[in-house]
């Protein structure tokens, strides 16, 4: 092997060794039987990270996992765009269970005060990809001629912004930020 090949392979071999070690550590952690105390213990900071934007590694080289940022009582406020034009949006989180958003309300206000409405949503947050998908449910207040829509997007944990696209063919983007 030439010195040039060795210089190229060196970092690759290090990366391969690191990935192999991380996978072995993860596999051994997943196959070990937890003690009774460990099985009932709440997650610690070393096993569950509250919010992360970039991959962070914890014990044994396992990637950290973000907690569900959608919490009961939260309001995520912003706008979305569909054929009617830019519309105010208030995504209200009603209930959650782990990474499932079991009830939320999509409240909208077009041309402030001219057309308002709301409907239920349910969704799921993917803590590894930092994405959330919501599907439409039943109407609460339905203005004549309006349809329910879903949402699919990414959560930026550093700004607590959820942005992406409205899942209806004629619609486009949305962006909402969690308010305190």
- Which residue's structure tokens are 């989180």? 93
Top CATH class of 75-179 equals mainly beta
Q: What is the pLDDT along the chain (180 residues), one digit of tens a residue?
A: 444 444 443 433 333 333 333 333 333 333 344 444 444 444 443 333 344 444 444 455 545 678 999 999 999 999 999 999 999 999 999 999 999 999 999 999 999 999 999 999 999 999 999 999 999 999 999 999 999 999 999 999 999 999 999 999 999 999 999 997
For 130-139, b where at least 16 C-beta lie within 10 A, e where not — what string? bebbbebbee
Q: Following CA atoms 134, 146, 111, 123 in sequence, which dihedral angle do they give, to the nearest 10 degrees?
A: -10
Q: Where are the domains of the chain?
A: 3-61, 75-179
């Amino acid at each position: 092997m030439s010195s040039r090949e060795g210089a190229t392979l060196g970092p690759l071999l290090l990366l391969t060794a690191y990935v192999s070690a991380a996978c072995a550590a993860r596999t051994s952690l997943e196959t070990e039987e937890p003690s009774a105390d460990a099985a009932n213990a709440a997650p610690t900071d070393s096993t569950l990270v509250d919010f992360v934007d970039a991959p962070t590694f914890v014990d044994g080289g396992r990637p950290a996992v973000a907690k569900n940022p959608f919490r009961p009582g939260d309001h995520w406020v912003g706008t979305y765009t569909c054929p009617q034009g830019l519309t105010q949006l208030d995504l209200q989180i009603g209930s959650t269970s782990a990474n499932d958003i079991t009830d939320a309300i999509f409240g909208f206000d077009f041309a402030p005060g001219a057309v308002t409405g709301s409907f239920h949503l349910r969704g799921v947050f993917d803590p590894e990809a930092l994405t959330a998908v919501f599907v439409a449910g039943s109407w609460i207040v339905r203005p004549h001629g309006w349809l329910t829509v879903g949402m699919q997007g990414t959560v930026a944990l550093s700004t607590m912004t959820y942005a992406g696209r409205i899942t209806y063919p004629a619609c486009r983007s949305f962006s909402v930020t969690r308010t305190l």
